[in-house]
Amino acid sequence: MWNNNNNNWGNGNNRGNNPFGSSQPAVYTQATSMADRSSLVTKVMWFTSFSIVSAMAGAWVGAFQLNLTGFRGGSWILVMIAEIGLMIGAYALREKPGINFALLYGFTFVTGLAISPIVNILTATGNADILLQALGVTAGITVALSAYALTTRRDFSGLAPYLFVAVIGLIIVSLLNLFFHSALLQSVIMYAGVLIFSFYLIFDVQKTKKFENTVGNAIAITISVYLDILNLFLYILQILMSFQRR
């Protein structure tokens, strides 16, 4: 499970947490006009779209070119290190032209590679339709929640600490369930994951209404939004797979 959180809005000291709990600075500055906000929204939409395409390319390479059905030995550790390193690099060098996008799309490509074994197994067993359904549901939720986040007058920035605690709780319960193997608890985890990252998506999309229109800000927000969408997709996929097993 991935997590990305940014707290302390508007004070110039925002921190973006990587999915494994290590914080990296993601400093934003305040937006100054409606035109800037609109332009920042456009940047984030395009960067996120390209990030998703990059992730799908990574999943395709891993599933159909490398035929990955899992990571043997310590190879999964190398993939995890690559993910963390690329994400930290994308944050740290987000204002550096050229390399910022290389790191961003390198990161999303590797995350796609990381989930390619699931894609391989589902397609090999004739369950590719579950992938398409998960993609469709995730896309629908993403569009609806993003539109709501951009049009509502309600400010969700105050949810930051509660969402962070919710994610920590979700991680702890997920780890505990590795030992208990409770089907009921697993169902709670899956639906709670969808709910938590739905709110996270609203929270992160609303950053485009508050911060200055720069490429660096757009890349930092894109990473947050991308991870929200990725988590939504993975939890929705789990839910659909659980229906298939019944």
Closest residue by Cα to residue 62 from 121, 3, 20: 121
Closest residue by Cα to residue 44 from 154, 209, 195: 209
- Strands (DSSP E) contained in the chain are 15-17, 23-25
Residues near 230 by Cβ (< 8 Å), separated by ≥ 6? 2, 55, 111
Closest residue by Cα to residue 95 from 38, 25, 23: 25
User: What residues of the chain score a pLDDT lower than 70?
Assistant: 1-32, 246
For the entire predicted model, the pTM comes to: 0.86
Position 34 scores a pLDDT of: 82
> Which string of b and e fits 74-96 if b means at least 16 CB within 10 Å?
eeeeebbebbbebbbbbbebbee
Position 246 scores a pLDDT of: 67
Position 1 scores a pLDDT of: 56
What are the beta bridge partners of residue 6? 16
Position 6 scores a pLDDT of: 43
User: How far is Cα 82 from Cα 80, in angstroms, rounded to an integer?
Assistant: 5
Position 18 scores a pLDDT of: 38
Position 33 scores a pLDDT of: 76
Confirm if 24 and 92 have CB atoms less than 8 A apart: yes
Position 2 scores a pLDDT of: 53
Closest residue by Cα to residue 70 from 119, 16, 34, 1: 119
Where exactly are the structural domains of the chain?
15-245
Position 96 scores a pLDDT of: 96
Q: Distance of CA 114 to CAs 109, 177, 179, Å? A: 9, 22, 24
pLDDT digits (tens, 9 = 90+) for 5-64: 443 333 333 333 333 333 333 445 554 578 888 999 999 999 999 999 999 999 999 999
